[in-house]
Structure formats: C-alpha cells, structure tokens
Structure 1
Amino acid sequence: MKLVRKILLPIVPIYYLVTSLRNKLYDAGVKKSTSYAFPVICVGNLNVGGTGKTPMIEYLINLLKEDFKVATLSRGYKRKTEGFQLADKNSNADSIGDEPFQFYNKYKDDIIVAVDANRNNGIKNLISANDVPEVILLDDAFQHRKVNAGFNILLTTYSNPYFSDYVLPTGNLREPRSGANRADVIIVTKCPINISEDEKLEFISRINPKKSQQVFFSSIRYSNKVFSDESSKEIKELKAFTLVTGIANTSPLVSFLSEKGLNFEHLNFKDHHNFTQNEIDDLNNETLIITTEKDYMRLKQYESLKDKLFYLPIEAAIDKAESLNGLILNFV
C-alpha cells in the first residue's frame, strides 16, 4: 500500500459512512430513483480503474443489435463538451470521450451513441428523438442511482476483486462491498484462460452471491491482427514497435505481447490520457506504434501518425455465455 494511502486511512470510515448513507437513502426511497418502462441495462463496477466495461458494452451491443434498436449512454469522461451530446459524423474523442467514440466508430450503422453526465437527462433526450431506442445500455453507471436500471451487471477483476478491497482513499472501492447486492449478475473479468473449476468455486464462495444473483467468469481475447482505418497487420509479422497505452491496467496486454516473443518498448500513460503536442512530436519519431483501441480513438486524429499507428482489438470471452445471454434476452 502506498504511503499516501496509509496516511489517508483515518478518512476511510468517513467515506464509508457517507456512501453507505447515500445508498440507504436510495434504498428507502428518500432519494428519488427513476425507473423506465423499457429495458435499461447498467454495466459498472465497485472498483475504480479498468474492469473491462468497454468490452462488456460491446458484448451486449453484439448480442442485441440485430433484433433491437440499441443506444449506449456514457458520461463521456474527459470530453471537452458539456451536457447531452449525440454522436454523429462530426464527433471525435474530444467531443464525446474516447470510449463512446470507439462505440460510434465500430457500430455507427447499428446503434445510437450518446453521452451525458446526467443519465436521466440523457435518457429523456434519447427517447424524445426521432430514432427512439428500444434498449439503453448505461456505461459505468452503477453508482448513478438516480436511474433505477432494470438489469445491473457488476464487473470485478480476477486480480483485484472487490471483496478483497477497501473503500477510497485507502482502497479502490467507490462504495462499500455491500453495493454488490444491487447487481443482477456479477462477472469476474480478466481471468486466466485456464482458470480451474475449483478456482471459480472459491471465487463464488468469497463473493457469496444472493440467491437471485448469478456469477460468470470472463477472459480477454486478443485479435491476431492489429488494425488501422486503412489496413491491418498480422501480429506474428510485427517487427520492433512502440506500445503506447493510456488505460488503467496494462498487465494483460503486456503479458500477451511478451508471450508472443515480440520486441517492443512500452510508453505507459495514465488512463484516458490527453496527449500533448510534445508527446505527439515524440511519437512522430517512432517507426511503428501499437496501441489499444481506446487510445487509437484519441491518436488517430493526428495526421502525422496515420501510416504508423495501429490498434489491437480485444473482446470479452465469457464462460457459459449461453446462460448469460439467456438472462439478458429474457430481461429485454
């Protein structure tokens, strides 16, 4: 534990009490939570940092987009705009945020992408538009209790599960562990490919889910190719390159590339990093740049990087996906 977190340990009970009281007020109906007469699915977490929300939203998009008009609604973290924004051909990572722009870039012909820090306001704008969605996916909204989502998916990572963590500022939990009781489904993400059944049972016992909750396990599946807007390359054919990341947890990606025996230098920035012009100038000196799909949404706007910038796609591979799909489709 870092020294500063140890120093802040006395603040933990205060943070715990404040967040617990807030949840109790919502549970008791003292604070208002709005429900909707159509399917609203929330994907979120208790921990700060990367738990795989973006791959999970894309998993839901792929599951639902053929049969339903789907909209995603995100906060649009670190965007340079305010209020409700509907993604269109003029949108970019600065106007709607990197993750929503990723959704729009991949699925613009299939779904509606919107951002609004006020999720109720965002939903009201979506349902008052000409193209009304049939299902709304709330990205990173588990603590946004002003909306009472009909189906809550809680994500927690294999390497840092919420049941072993503590609330901020000493730990990484946004709220007490008891918040997990609001989830309909709990998914343990970023699991090893070869996780055993005994390990799964141990995890489930420590989660101690309610009878109404189901627990699933997922791992990250990486593509065998890297892509740009114009072309692609086989990973096995990559020579020396620079890996550029601005995500919360780089360990799975670095491990994957290292296991492939690839030769690369890693430039690791903070999550949702806004690249400065000096940093872009430095990247101009690189021969080949591999990045994440989220970071690609921020970097692709720089014409000087066009011929050397590629991203590595990922997707969530969920164990017993048929059961999870059935729960979601039954809800919708």
Structure 2
Amino acid sequence: MVYLRVLLLPFSLLYGLAIWIRNRLYDWGWLRSVAFDRSVIVVGNLAVGGTGKSPMTEYLVRLLSPRGRLATLSRGYGRKTKGFLEVMPDDTARRSGDEPLQFKRKFPEVTVAVDEDRVDGVSRLIRSGHDIIVLDDAYQHRALRPGFAILLFDYHAMSKPNWLLPAGNYRDAFKERRRADVMVVTKTPLGATEAEKDRIRRGLSTARHIPILFAGIGYGSLTRVLANESGAAALHRDAAVLLLTGIANPAPLYEYLSSQVSEIVHMRYADHHDYSTADIHKVVRRFGEINNPDKLIVTTEKDAQRLREPAISDLMVGLPLYMVPIHLEFDPKDEATFRERVLAYCSRPH
C-alpha cells in the first residue's frame, strides 16, 4: 500500500499545483471571495475522512443558539435534490442529506439548510433574518470568506505524512492551516500525554500563533433508532453487538464498544452509504447468526438517518436497533479558550 502511494506522488504534485494556483488566485483577489456583515463561522478540515465536523457543529449550535438567530448550512452530501433547501424534521436523508437531517432532528428549533453554493445559502439565510450562520465542511469553499474559521485535525492521523491526494489523504495543502482562527485536534484519547500534545502543537504551529486545542469524544446512552420502537438497553461485558457503520472513520466507535462488550461483529460500508434492501437483508441474516441471546444492533447517529428511510426501516422493525450519540469533550482549559474566542467574535459588530 505504501509503495502504491509513492507511485501516485506525481499525480499529487499535479493536484497540488492546481490547488496552489486556485488558493493564490483567491489570496490575490483575482477570484472573488464574498464576506458578510453577520457572524459566519466555518468548520472544516484539510484531510479527507471524519475529523468530527458534525460534533463540532453541534457544539457550536448549543453554544450560540441562545445568543442570536442561528442557522447551520452545509452542502447536504448524498442528497438527491439540488439548490437551496430548508431541512424539516420529517424529511428523508435522500432529500436533505444525512448530517443536516441529524442536526434538524436534534435541534428542531434551529434553522438547518443545505445548498451546494454556500454564498447563495448564506445570502438567503441573512435575508430571512439569521445573524449567526455555522457552515459545516466549507473550509475549502474559498468563494465565501468566513469571519471565523475552525480547522479540525484527527489526533490519530497526526503522525502520518501530509501528502496530497491521491498519494495521501490531504485535499488541501497543509500550509493552508494558516487561514484558520483556531485549530482543534479531535478524537484525542484520555491518556494522551502533554509531551505528545506538545509534539502535535509544534507540528501545527504557524507564524500567526493560532490557538491549538484538544478535544476527545464523549459517548451518550444508547437511543432507539426507530421512533415507533420502545425499550431501553445498556452495554455490558456479556453482550454482543453487531456494529453497522457507513461513516469515514468508525475506529473510535469500534474501540469504545470493544471496551464495553464481549463480542463485536462489524459490518462496515463507505461514508454516506445509501443502504439498500439487500444490505438490510444481510444485516438481519448476520445478526441472526450471532450466538448470544443478549445482542444488539448498534449504529451511528448519521447512519440512523438513512436507516429511517421507510423502505429500509420496515425491514428492521422489531430488531434491537440503537444509535450511540457522540459529543466533543474538551480539556477544560482548552474549552475556556475556545469559547472565549468564538463568543468574542460573535459579539463584535460585523
């Protein structure tokens, strides 16, 4: 695998040249970048894969929704619709995208919108009276100039080379981190040492002295996926779990469940996988093969939105199907710094 990546380096150089030219055209003003007179916060990453953008967006919603009329905006990856769309709780993932639907069902009082054209989306939300807009996964969307940019890095990927696609996992140059207002290293283990954190800080530091903060993942109680199903469940050492995931990086969830139960059968699909009836038949069959009467099907909040599609959910009625809510858990000192920076930005006139 390493040799294959090395062979792809010439293509990474070509890709790097293309994104370097694009970024410089925006930096030099030859391509137009639109700024807004409202609080516009971007959450993003440089590498492909899951770095915890959704938990960060949810953290910001909880922090900022009491302080103004807030909306979230994303592309709505995986949806079958186009253009601007305000997400409703009774939408399907195919109409609005799985993550926006997750946000709306979790925060029904908050406006959740999708639009592949972020400038158009923000403009529409401002015209409808919103004064704080959080954009999920828009760091590379240079046509929009955010007022505050939060850049995320996966703790477990910090020791890997910063190679660009296709040889590496970076979709933007590592030096573009200098455009951030704060950097957060997510999925930090509880046992991470200060020496290891210092090593990561040195690797991420820039001349701008951008704050580099650390946050881990917190896991909530199991929650039923299907609204018409009832019954509580808890993880324990004698239980078995069929873990069903269609996310970029399920490793942290797998590790967490491994510490809680005796057996895990993992059925892993690609990120934003559009589950078919054939997939669910395989899930049901594999679940039936687990030889433990104390067994559950566990999935993620994002997958749960797709599993609630009518044709899919009908096949899972009566099964013990649960999702695991997750949230960011900052180091207390880092959390104070993060909140101070975000709230200071939102309290300024724009």
TM-score by length of 2: 0.89
8 A contact 1:209–1:215 mirrored in 2: no
| 1:183 counterpart residue number | 180
Q: Which moved more, 1:313-322 or 1:148-157?
A: 313-322
SS of 2:121's equivalent in the other structure is helix
* Partner AA of 2:342 in structure 1: I
| 1:164 counterpart residue number | 161
1:125 pairs with 2:124? yes
Paired with 1:246 and 1:72, the residues of 2 have a C-alpha distance of: 23
Paired with 1:56 and 1:176, the residues of 2 have a C-alpha distance of: 22
Deviations 1:256-293 (A, max 9, x none): 11111332211011111111121122233436311001
Unaligned runs of 5+ in 2: 289-295
Q: Tell me how far 1:101 sits from its aligned partner.
A: 0.6
1:271 pairs with 2:268? no
Identity of aligned residues (%): 38
8 A contact 2:89–2:101 mirrored in 1: no
8 A contact 2:89–2:104 mirrored in 1: no
Q: Report how many residues are paired.
A: 329
Q: Which moved more, 1:42-51 or 1:315-324?
A: 315-324
1:321 pairs with 2:335? yes
Paired with 2:55 and 2:324, the residues of 1 have a C-alpha distance of: 13
Q: Which moved more, 1:214-223 or 1:296-305?
A: 296-305
Paired with 1:39 and 1:314, the residues of 2 have a C-alpha distance of: 26
Paired with 2:137 and 2:262, the residues of 1 have a C-alpha distance of: 33
| 1:311 counterpart residue number | 323
Instruction: Identify which of 132, 137, 146 aligns with 1:135.
Output: 132
| 2:291 counterpart residue number | none
Q: Give the 5 Å matches for 1:258-297.
A: 258-285=258-285, 286=287, 288-297=296-305
8 A contact 1:163–1:206 mirrored in 2: no
Paired with 2:65 and 2:220, the residues of 1 have a C-alpha distance of: 22
8 A contact 1:300–1:306 mirrored in 2: no
Q: Structure 1 residue runs of 4+, over 6 Å off? A: none
Q: Which moved more, 1:145-154 or 1:296-305?
A: 296-305
1:227 pairs with 2:220? no
* Partner AA of 2:307 in structure 1: L
Unaligned runs of 5+ in 1: none
Instruction: Quote the RMSD (CA, aligned, Å).
Output: 1.8
Paired with 2:87 and 2:317, the residues of 1 have a C-alpha distance of: 23
- Are the structure 2 counterparts of residues 86 and 53 from structure 1 closer, same or farther at C-alpha, using a change threshold of 3 Å? same
Q: Tell me how far 1:237 sits from its aligned partner.
A: 8.0
Q: Tell me how far 1:60 sits from its aligned partner.
A: 0.5
Q: Tell me how far 1:161 sits from its aligned partner.
A: 2.6
Paired with 1:118 and 1:66, the residues of 2 have a C-alpha distance of: 27
- Are the structure 2 counterparts of residues 68 and 262 from structure 1 closer, same or farther at C-alpha, using a change threshold of 3 Å? farther
Deviations 1:112-137 (A, max 9, x none): 000011101111222233xx212000
Q: Tell me how far 1:153 sits from its aligned partner.
A: 0.3
Q: Tell me how far 1:4 sits from its aligned partner.
A: 4.3
Q: Which moved more, 1:86-95 or 1:35-44?
A: 86-95
Instruction: Identify which of 211, 214, 237 aligns with 2:211.
Output: 214
SS of 2:125's equivalent in the other structure is helix
Q: Give the 5 Å matches for 1:13-162.
A: 13-109=13-109, 111-129=110-128, 132-161=129-158
- Are the structure 2 counterparts of residues 331 and 165 from structure 1 closer, same or farther at C-alpha, using a change threshold of 3 Å? same
Paired with 2:297 and 2:125, the residues of 1 have a C-alpha distance of: 37
Q: Tell me how far 1:238 sits from its aligned partner.
A: 7.4
Paired with 2:145 and 2:35, the residues of 1 have a C-alpha distance of: 5
SS of 1:20's equivalent in the other structure is helix
